[in-house]
């Protein structure tokens, strides 16, 4: 697996990452990682690679956009001196354009989204071993749906940023499409097509772990 022994991995994003994680830092006793995909990643890594003594920290905050990450990056990422940073952001950048269409001052358009994401990556890469960028997603199978089409655009920006900066890339939308495709309806995964149930969170965790070379039942290197 990609993470060397004693590495610190910081996970940052919005409510899909937050999931009720501990404050001020998502680590420690009881349920520090929340109830979502970061918790699943922590459990699987902790069981499979206990000798590596990896330190995972969940710094997701519900409702965040890339603007919010820019504002808190220094305190919630840089000061933690991570070896790796995993960032999944963009859902609210897109969603606010649809659920609050008249509040244009809070909308994060594609150009700003790209600039914000590139800024976060550029200021971080010189100080870490690497970053993992995960796409936002929308649990809608019709790609002609306005919000799904917009989310796909933002996902393509994540893909392009990862390619241009040499970071790892995780296509969470593709993982969710596969999961929803096997169900009768997306509501079996998410009541609002944004916040997934445990199966949806496991799909995110699996996509992330595949990207970092997690060994599913095989030899662990």
Give the CATH number, domain containing residue 149.
Answer: 3.40.50.1110
Catalytic residue numbers read: 15, 192, 195
Q: Cα separations (Å) of 25 from 31, 59, 146?
A: 12, 6, 36
Give the total number of structural domains in the chain: 1
* pLDDT per residue as tens digits for the range 168-185: 999 999 999 999 987 768
Give burial (CB, 10 Å; 0-12/13-18/19+) of 12.
Answer: buried
Residue 91 CB: number of other CB atoms within 10 A?
24
216 inside domain: no
- pLDDT tens column, 25-56: 999 998 999 999 999 999 999 999 999 999 99
Does a structural domain hold residue 17? Answer: yes
pLDDT of 220 over the 70 cut? no
User: Which structural domain, as residue segments, surrounds residue 107?
Assistant: 8-211
Domain assignment of residue 220, yes or no: no
The answer to whether residue 219 sits within a structural domain is no
Does residue 221 lie within any of the structural domains? no
In a domain, 16, yes or no: yes
Q: What is the pLDDT of residue 217?
A: 78
| Total-model pTM | 0.96
- Domain membership of residue 46 (yes or no) is yes
């Amino acid at each position: 697996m990609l993470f060397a022994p004693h590495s610190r991995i910081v996970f940052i994003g919005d409510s899909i990452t937050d999931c009720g994680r501990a404050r001020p830092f998502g680590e420690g006793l009881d349920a520090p990682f929340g109830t979502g995909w970061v918790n699943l990643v922590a459990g699987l890594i902790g069981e499979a690679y206990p000798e590596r003594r990896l330190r995972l920290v969940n710094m997701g905050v519900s409702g965040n956009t890339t603007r919010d990450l820019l504002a808190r990056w220094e305190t919630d990422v840089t000061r933690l001196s991570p070896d790796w940073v995993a960032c999944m952001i963009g859902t609210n950048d897109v969603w606010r354009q649809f659920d609050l269409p008249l509040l244009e001052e809070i909308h994060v358009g594609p150009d700003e989204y790209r600039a914000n994401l590139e800024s976060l990556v550029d200021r971080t890469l010189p100080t870490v071993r690497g970053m993992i960028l995960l796409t936002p997603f929308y649990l809608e199978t019709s790609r002609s749906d306005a919000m799904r089409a917009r989310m796909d655009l933002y996902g393509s920006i994540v893909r392009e940023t990862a390619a241009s900066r040499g970071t790892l890339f995780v296509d969470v939308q593709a993982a969710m499409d596969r999961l929803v495709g096997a169900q009768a309806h997306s509501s079996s995964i998410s009541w609002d097509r944004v916040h997934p149930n445990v199966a949806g969170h496991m799909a995110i965790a699996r996509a992330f772990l595949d990207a970092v070379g997690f060994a599913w039942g095989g030899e662990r290197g």
